[in-house]
Amino acid sequence: MKAGADGGDRARSSAAPATADAEGSARSMWRHRDVPMLVGGGLGCLVTVVALAMVVAAWRGGGEASDWLWGLCALGLVTTMLSYYDSEARLRAYQQRRNRRACAIRDEVLAGRNPARPYFVYLRPFAVDGAFVEAPRNDADERYVEAYGWPSAHHDLESALALLVYRHSDLVALSDDPGRAGAGYVRSSELTWQQEVAALCAYAEGIFIVPFDFEGTAWEVAMIDVQGWRTKTFVVMPAKPPLALAGVGRHFERLWEAGRVRYPALGLPAYDAGGCIVDLGDDMAIYRGFGAHKTIGDGRARRHDLAQLAARLVALSSGNGPAGGCEGRETADDHRAPER
């Protein structure tokens, strides 16, 4: 099944705006914070600390803590908890919305229609769900913050991809257990996943794939090669998790090296604990910076690579990149299915 360059014409935007948008998506964290959670949590913590300090001072002074001090302490704790639960509720609501959009995209492509909104597909073995990478707070995108709240010190790999994609497109993944952040999830089964993956990849602007040594992944790699979709494919090398999360690693290096042996045509580089994304397009490129970095220089290099990758994704989603899914995008005046 093929779709892409055979469809109708698509307007092409200039590279300059694409680069500007990409840089914004990689640097805009501090200007777009989760204000309600920050204010509520900050005030709650401050009130709690002050109240506890006053209680301790009263005890050391030989007096008894007044009831209003205990009330102030309780108020701080309640404020902090309410702020946390509000953030969690908004996170779930946004993820459910993305899941619904992903399911709608799946339904459209299975019906032979090219979805109006650009999207990318994320193919990874279910066994690596929960892979973590370190992401500094000033690298996040405002839409990521809006959807998921104030990020922790670590983001899972899908959230890092969402950071770059959701400004202009959707990110769709099949899953047997939809998660809480990252791609929009489509529930699938052993009976239907191959049909769904093929249809989604045919119309996608780009494909992210984790080339580990699994039978399902081998089928996906073969499909990409047969259909000629390498020009819009990105290979994802998960970074080694921090020490505290080492159990999540699932032997990434071993799985990656086994994949290098199994898929020699991809020309995969040796495993790097820092992680990277490899663009298999006409001009192969490697984008690094998805793992830990300890110095300011490392952080700057990371942001540079994120901005370059973001610019590449913007180009694909707007029609500036190689054809392969972005060329036949429907518009409001064009509801024809692309030529098969």
Residue 8 maps to a domain: no
Considering the chain, what percentage of its residues have pLDDT values greater than 90? 22
Residue 189 to residues 88, 99, 192, 195, 296, Cα–Cα distance (Å): 28, 16, 5, 10, 45
Residue 115 maps to a domain: yes
Mean pLDDT score of the chain? 70
Structural domains of the chain, count: 1
CA nearest to 87, candidates 27, 152, 34, 162: 34
CA nearest to 316, candidates 175, 169, 218: 169
Instruction: Give the torsion sign (CA, 50, 81, 178, 128).
Output: positive
What domain range includes position 299? 15-32+101-318
CA nearest to 312, candidates 340, 280, 272, 273: 280
| Bridge-based pairing state of the strands 119-123 and 206-209 | parallel
Q: What is the pLDDT of residues 279-299, one digit of tens each?
A: 998 888 988 766 544 444 455
Residue 106 maps to a domain: yes
Task: Lowest mean pLDDT of 47-56, 143-152, 245-254, 295-304, name the range.
Answer: 143-152
260: exposed, middle or buried (C-beta count within 10 Å: 0-12, 13-18, 19+)?
middle
Tell whether the model's pLDDT for residue 206 goes beyond 90: yes
Residue 134 maps to a domain: yes
Encoded amino acid at 20, one letter = A
DSSP 238-266: PPPPPGGGGGGS-SHHHHHHHHHHH-GGG
Residue 66 maps to a domain: no
pLDDT at site 102: 92
Q: What is the pLDDT of residues 223-268, one digit of tens each?
A: 999 999 999 999 988 877 655 444 444 577 888 999 999 999 998 9
pLDDT tier for residue 117 given thresholds of 50, 70 and 90: confident
Residue 22 maps to a domain: yes
pLDDT at site 252: 79
pLDDT at site 325: 45
pLDDT at site 84: 73
Higher pLDDT, 340 or 217: 217
Highest mean pLDDT of the ranges 71-80, 109-118, 318-327: 109-118
Residue 329 maps to a domain: no
Higher pLDDT, 268 or 167: 268
Q: What is the pTM of this model?
A: 0.69
- Averaged pLDDT, 195-209: 95
Contact status, residue 316 vs residue 205, Cβ threshold 8 Å: yes
| Bridge-based pairing state of the strands 154-156 and 170-175 | unpaired
Give helix then strand counts, H and E, for the chain: 9, 9
Query: For residue 236, what are the β-bridge partners?
Result: 277
Residue 86 maps to a domain: no
pLDDT at site 53: 74
DSSP 60-80: HTT----HHHHHHHHHHHHHH
pLDDT at site 276: 85
